[in-house]
Structure 1
Amino acid sequence: MKNKENFENIGRYFSQMYRKGRIFYSQELKKFGLGSGQSIFLFQLYKKDGVSQDELANTLYIDKGTTARSLKTLEEAGFIKREVSDSDKRVNIVRLTEKGLKLEPEITAVLKEWDRILAHSLSEEEQKTLLTLLKKISDSNLMK
């Protein structure tokens, strides 16, 4: 094992970026009445609206209880609506409301701004390499 002073931990940097991102999102999304915990669901619904609550939880790797609480908050704020599926009464389908849809450009701009902040000191080639490596890590089966 390496000397403690020389030990680099990849997870530490992921953790730092995650925490800094949550702070950034919290500050930027506060004006819309959103927290960083709810925004991830809106980001996903902007990609694919009208999905089941379970699909959202699985896609985002968030447990069902946390998903239900976040969606309840979004629903109470008028950003989404949950409807019982016609084909399976046990399934809730999550859809953006007009209020949620109207915010898409502003919410997406916040996401793009965070990406710009993260990549500001990287060349275009470094950004491409980083994105390729992050996709590779994310797509790998981390939990066996």
Structure 2
Amino acid sequence: MKNISSIIKSLNNIEILIIDDDEATNFLTSYTFNELCINCNLHFELNAESALDFLDNCNEQLPDVILLDINLPGMNGWEFLNQYQKHNIASKKKIAIFMLSTSIFDTDKLKSKTYPEVIEYFEKPLNDEKIQIFKEVYFNVNSKSST
């Protein structure tokens, strides 16, 4: 597992970019985050091209986290990751990328590990259990809070 505690210090006011063309998934993801009382700002892009434009031209705060689908219209998630690297967005800010896909293929899970920006691969849907992993393991919610 990669340690991203240096990327994000807490769950307060996290900026999350969700790149997914499925409106139902986006609704469910938003609902799940809100139900678990995670204080975050969600921004949705329905395709990879508009997400890259958003990241390139972001005059506001860049996101802390990206939830990225693989199967997108036009440019897919893998092509997005390649363009993300070419655009050198990580030089502006380290962004933790989580793959969130319907793909259950081990090849996709393994491929995601070849991208240093990708922290974890989750199969859809994003549920309470996966959000707990998101919170506890990758954002160290429980570490140091009990000390």
TM-score by length of 2: 0.26
- Asked which structure has the greater RCO (Cα within 8 Å, sep 6+), the reply is 2
Q: Which has the higher helix share?
A: 1
| Rg larger in structure | 1
TM-score by length of 1: 0.26
